Amino acid sequence: MDNPQRLLLIASSLMRRTPAFDRAAALAKAKGMALHIIAFDYLEGLATASLVNDQALAVLREGYVQQHREWLETQALPMRRNGLTVTTEVVWVQRPLDEILIHLREQPFTMLIKAFEHEPWWIRAMFTSLDIQLLRETRIPVHLVHYARHALPRKILAAVDLSQPENQFEGFNDQIISEALKLALQCNAQIELLYAYDAGSMYLDAAGGRPHSYLFDANRAQTLHEAQSEAFQALAERNGIAAEHRHLRLGDPAKVLGLFMEHNDIDVLVMGRYHHHGIGWFIGSTAERVMYRLNSSVLVISPEHSQG
C-alpha cells in the first residue's frame, strides 16, 4: 500500500544547495516516503520596480520563478534516479510563513525539514526568524539542519526534561523518546538519552524566585539529585533505553546539550518545543538557545503533535 504521507523540504530562496537537501533525501528513503521541495521567492527590487510597467514586471518575475523551478528540478533529478518520488514547487510570496502553514493544513506532511538560519544576535533581537516562527506555529516535527556530517543520521540524542512535573504536558517526555526511537530504527542509528537539570534554577523555583539559605545545603542538593535520578531512570526503563545509553547531567541544559553533542558526534538532537504549560515556557528557552549552539541538527517535537 502506498504511503500518502510526505516530507516537506523548505529550500533556500537563494538557489543554494544546503545540507538539508541530503538529509531530506536520506530520510525520505529511510522512511519510504515521498519528498516535496518548495522554495519561496520574493525580490524587493523586482516586486517594487517603478521603471517598468506591470506587464513587463510580471514577465521579469515569472522568468525568475521559472529559473528557480528549473534549478529545483536539477536538484531533484539525482534523488529520483535513486528511487525517490520527488515533487518541486516555487511560490512568489513576501511572507512565506502563511504559505507554509497553508501547505501543512492541506496536505499530510509528516515532517518539515529546513536549513537552519544562523542569524546574529542583534538581528534576532529585532526580528523573529522564520525558523522560530515555524517552531511556534507548526504542529508537525520540525527538523532544522545546520550541518550534516552524515546524510543519514548515525547517532541520535533524545533530550528530556523532568523538572516541574506538575506543570508538564502529560506523556511528552515519552513522546520525545518514542520519536527518537522511531527515527533511530528507520536510520539504523544509535540512540542516546540525556537529561540535564539546573539545580540552582530549581531551588529558586521552589523558593518563589527568592534567594534562600538552602541554595548551598548539600543535603538538599543530594536529595534533589536522587529524586531526579530516580525519575530519569524510571523514564528510561519504561522506554527500553539501555543503561549505557542513559546520561544524567547537572548544569545549564543548553550548554550541557551543546557540549554532549559535540563530544559524542551526535547527528540529530530530538527535543521538545516546550515541556511546560504557560506562555512563560513558550518555545522553551532551552530549545531556542540550543539551536544557536549546534553544529549539527535538531528535530523539535511539539506537544500538540504528541496529543494529535
The winner for highest mean pLDDT among 46-55, 214-223, 292-301 is 292-301
| 137 part of a folded domain | no
Residues 51 and 176 in one domain: no
Q: Whole domain around residue 10: which residue ranges?
A: 1-115
Q: In terms of domains, do 222 and 278 share one?
A: yes
Counting the structural domains of the chain, the total is 2
On whether residue 136 sits in a domain, the answer given is no
What is the tens place of the pLDDT at every residue in 148-174? Answer: 899 999 999 999 999 876 666 789 999
Per-range mean pLDDT, top range of 118-122, 201-205, 245-249: 245-249
Residue 59 has pLDDT above 80, yes or no: no
For 241-257, what is the mean pLDDT?
Answer: 94
Instruction: Say whether both 13 and 157 belong to one domain.
Output: no
Q: What is the pLDDT of residue 265?
A: 94
Cα torsion at 212, 277, 275, 166 (round to 10°)? 60
- The count of residues in the chain is 308
- For the ranges 91-95, 221-225, 231-235, 287-291, the one whose mean pLDDT is highest: 231-235
Domain limit, last residue, from 115, 131, 164: 115
Question: Are 292 and 187 in a shared domain?
Answer: yes
Verify that 155 and 111 share a domain, yes or no: no
Last residue of a domain, one of 97, 115, 133: 115
pLDDT of 81 over the 80 cut: yes
**47 phi/psi in degrees, rounded to 5:** -75, -30
219 and 175: one domain?
Answer: yes
The CATH number of residue 76's host domain is: 3.40.50.620
Residues 214-241, mean pLDDT to the nearest whole number: 85
Residue 11: what pLDDT? 95
**Residues 175, 304: one domain?**
yes
- Mean pLDDT along residues 6-34: 95
Residue 187 lies in a domain: yes
Last residue of a domain, one of 64, 98, 115: 115
Mean pLDDT, to the nearest integer, of 98-115? 94
| pLDDT for the residue numbered 49 | 54
307 touches 153 (CB < 8 A): no
- For residue 128, being part of any structural domain is answered with no
Tell me if 141 is assigned to some domain: no
